[in-house]
Structure 1
Amino acid sequence: MRLNIALAACVLCVCGCAQQSRKTVERPPETQAFIEWVSDHAVAIENLETTAPTTDLEPLRETLGAAHLVGLGESRHDTREQLLLKGLLVRYLIEDLGFRALILEESFPHAESLNRYVTSGEGDLRGLMNQLAGWYLWDTEEMLELIQWIRQFNQDLEPGQQVRIFGVDITAPAPGVRDVLRSFKSAGVEIRLDEPALGLDLQRGDFWPSTWERYGALPDERRRELAANYEELIELVKENRQQLIVLSSVEKYERTLMLATNGKVGNDFFSSGGLETGGAIREHGMAQMTLSILDKEIPGENAILWAHNLHVAKSSFRMPGLLEGVLNPMGVELSAELGDAYITIGGTFGTGSYPPDLPPGERLFESVSEAVMDGALAEVGAPFFLVNLREVEQNSAASRWLHQEREWKAQDSNALLVPIESFDLVYFVEEISRSQPSPLALQRSQAPGEK
């Protein structure tokens, strides 16, 4: 359903109309043109609940249906409304457009437990969510409902038609590296490498910033030793390809090689010593994992990539005061490889608050300037909507606004990026609240030593 700001204006009081008129006059012309363009082209969303119909998204069928990979972003990992809106998009892409994979910003080996659950029903979902590497992000009631929906969707489908779940993050590779070592042992292949030789003692726990700190205390000689050991591990997997295939299958051999590679990239990330260098390693690693999944795990199928805005974006961004220089998210590499078949959807919001009794603690999100993407979209005056930036007329005032570098909310900071170069579509939620951590997540977050 298309929005029209004029309809909303009709119900405003005289004072409100006068104020709206004053704001219109004071706005820069390009800002005014952009807000008016969004008001005329936005697709309104009536209901975000898990049981809500997806019919509101039908105007996006042509754009989304042409994608091989849809990158679903979010400005924060922990907002209820953004999770629900993304869940609505996931259901539409799966149920109406035939997408058959959900790729998460989560460790590849950890996400395999979710894949087994949605394809076979194996395991207790609440327990599985709490054992993810990013449990403090994923273990919420909103995400649990979405995973349950995927399981229900899969129940009557043949294995080749089911939706599968994968992870692409490289920040918790230890379980996968242990699987590689077990594969050698099962195949009767003796190697000199063991867990300490691969730094798995440093990678204890799931909170990667803690692992980063432990690596930071290592001397350069130890870092070089770890790097050489991971190179050796990958070569050993390749050299023993035939024995590993005889033991299992070609598919399981490919998984073993992927896990070894994931371990190497994770080690490179932790050993990098700088956020900018480490960030580049992580983004490249996640992009390569995504492309490998598309090519080897789900050839011919379309997939959804669920991650933060600053991972899925198709152009570089800056975060002055937090990070130096320009950073390239994995979306840049994915766009270069997939071209127009990679479509990105960025997330924005207006205002909101978090209570003090839930992590990360009390937060107040106030309205921001109309020069900021979030602030401009807030002026449309609708609670939930999406807008297709591909529809903007070239060289128009609205297009010029979108081609300028804009601030964009990102966790507890702001990023600077060019909207139309970064995202094909943008969604907006007027007011956000904290997503609901599961009882297990709340219990774990309050335990000593947990993050």
Structure 2
Amino acid sequence: MNADTVLSLLPARPRLLALGEPTHGEDVLLDVRNDLFRQLVEQAGYRTIVLEIDCLRAQLVDDYVTSGAGSLDAVMAQGFSHEWGAYPPNRSLVSWMRSYNEDRPAPEQVRFAGFDGPLEITAASSPRQALTALHGYLADRVDPGLLPCTLETLEDLLGADDLWTNPAAMRDPAQSVGQTASADRLRRLADNLVALLEIQTPLLIADGWSRAWLNARTAVGLLRYHFWMADSSPSRLPWLLGIRAAMMAANLLALAERSPTLVYAHNSHLQRDRSSMRMGGMPLEWWSAGATVSSRLGDDYAFLPTAVGTLRTHNVETPPPNTIEGFLYAQPGDRFIADPRRLAAETLTPRVSPWFGYAPLDPAHLPRFDGIVFIRDAPPS
């Protein structure tokens, strides 16, 4: 993998370079990511890597790599969601970032971030952490008379966290607290806290501004998400998928403003095309974070999905020759970057995976790829 080859496919260095993966949990994919990020840092001035993990928890990792706060064991256990802190290449990434930053001034340091909301497939987090952190930030810095409420008011309205995180609410809207009178008032108070953050920009912008906005975006996004969890109309699932993607996109746009950034996530979150899936027997479509960010950034966004030839531990064998993966499998080399324009003249069909956890590339999306990272055979992790 060579960063120069990646950048040679693009009209200019993008502020947000998106590297996708077709499946989660394969060490070889994470090793390729780590190698590319190191080269982008050392050769092309990239300063941030952002992963598909909880944006609030990831702050612990950023504190560690920039200042050494905490310990490596602690941040791997607490700073990663979805149990991704257990993957050795993720530990190697964090270790390398801390070592790189050790003797460098803050403007030259590399940074770590997550761009997903505090969301799981089965439940969504309470908005408490983000909402109270936003309130505390403002309470410490602005005229107390401008605050729309006290911290005690927020705590009373929030109630117990397990009311918000009840997994039964994902399947039964009646179990959700997202449309209660308390939740409705919390949404109005959150809106006013965000407005106050905007109003006080000249006072606040030099002091913890980015993290305050991360908390603001997360609090509002979670309250919206819980509102639609409580909805029983056919629009419920499209709204939930759309809100999550919008939260991701807002976080990516904020990071791209800060420094050139590599984002790593599933191909489906980063693609420019409309995403689709079936859930509960219902076909669903929504715009991914990548589609939204690309529409905003233009050439400052680039997307390279990763394709894999075989995943034999999951019975994904040699790909048919008339698929994207099959065409690339027939080329020399175990790992390389392909120009998608080379495939434009080929007659290709979608590959069908025997394993639900692996998503092959769709030939219809080829015109909206900036490059393809290909790994011939993925060994057991």
- Normalised by the length of structure 1, the TM-score is 0.69
Pick from 215, 222, 238: which aligns with 1:276? 238
CA deviation map 1:9-64 (0-9, x unaligned): xxxxxxxxxxxxxxxxxxxxxxxxxxxxxxxxxxxx5xxxxxxxxxx443334336
Matched, 1:335 2:286: no
> Which letter does structure 2 place at the counterpart of 1:379?
A
Distance in 2 between residues matched to 1:307 and 1:386, nearest whole Å: 18
Q: In the alignment, which residue of structure 2 is the partner of 1:286? A: 248
Q: Structure 1: which 5+ residue stretches go unaligned?
A: 1-44, 46-55, 355-362, 393-397, 436-451
Equivalences for residues 31-110 of structure 1 within 5 A: 45=1, 56-63=2-9, 66-110=13-57
> Which letter does structure 2 place at the counterpart of 1:166?
A
Pick from 311, 314, 317: which aligns with 2:269? 311
> Which letter does structure 1 place at the counterpart of 2:324?
M
SS at match of 2:372: strand
Identity score, percent: 21
1:253 offset after TM fit, Å?
4.6
Distance in 2 between residues matched to 1:416 and 1:196, nearest whole Å: 48
CA deviation map 1:313-360 (0-9, x unaligned): 112233357761433211111111111121111011122344xxxxxx
Q: In the alignment, which residue of structure 1 is the partner of 2:321? A: 370
1:378 offset after TM fit, Å?
2.3
1:286 offset after TM fit, Å?
0.9
Pick from 44, 63, 71: which aligns with 1:124? 71
SS at match of 1:406: coil
1:133 offset after TM fit, Å?
4.8
Larger Rg: 1
1:250 offset after TM fit, Å?
4.3
On the 8 A contact 1:74/1:308 being kept in 2, the answer is yes
Q: In the alignment, which residue of structure 1 is the partner of 2:232? A: none
Pick from 320, 331, 336: which aligns with 1:380? 331
SS at match of 2:50: strand
Q: Structure 2: which 5+ residue stretches go unaligned?
A: 120-124, 230-235
On the 8 A contact 2:177/2:183 being kept in 1, the answer is no
Q: In the alignment, which residue of structure 1 is the partner of 2:122? A: none
CA deviation map 1:183-210 (0-9, x unaligned): 35656655264246247614778xxx94
On the 8 A contact 1:352/1:432 being kept in 2, the answer is yes
Matched, 1:412 2:357: yes
1:181 offset after TM fit, Å?
4.1
Equivalences for residues 146-295 of structure 1 within 5 A: 146-172=93-119, 174=127, 175-183=129-137, 186=140, 190-191=149-150, 193-195=153-155, 197-198=157-158, 201-202=161-162, 210=167, 213=170, 216-218=173-175, 222=179, 225-239=182-196, 250-253=206-209, 255-273=211-229, 274-295=236-257
Distance in 1 between residues matched to 2:302 and 2:168, nearest whole Å: 33
Q: In the alignment, which residue of structure 2 is the partner of 1:302? A: 260
SS at match of 1:305: strand
SS at match of 1:59: helix
Distance in 2 between residues matched to 1:279 and 1:349, nearest whole Å: 26
On the 8 A contact 2:60/2:78 being kept in 1, the answer is no
Distance in 2 between residues matched to 1:197 and 1:316, nearest whole Å: 37
Q: In the alignment, which residue of structure 1 is the partner of 2:283? A: 324
Pick from 354, 370, 377: which aligns with 1:424? 370
Cα gap change, 1:219 to 1:67, in 2 (>3 Å) = closer
1:136 offset after TM fit, Å?
1.4
Cα gap change, 1:104 to 1:193, in 2 (>3 Å) = farther
On the 8 A contact 1:383/1:430 being kept in 2, the answer is yes
On the 8 A contact 1:350/1:378 being kept in 2, the answer is yes
CA deviation map 1:116-149 (0-9, x unaligned): 1111122111221111351412431111111111
SS at match of 1:73: strand
On the 8 A contact 1:384/1:430 being kept in 2, the answer is yes
1:73 offset after TM fit, Å?
0.7
On the 8 A contact 1:284/1:330 being kept in 2, the answer is yes
Cα gap change, 1:211 to 1:260, in 2 (>3 Å) = farther
Aligned length in residues: 358
SS at match of 2:376: strand
1:168 offset after TM fit, Å?
1.6
- Normalised by the length of structure 2, the TM-score is 0.80
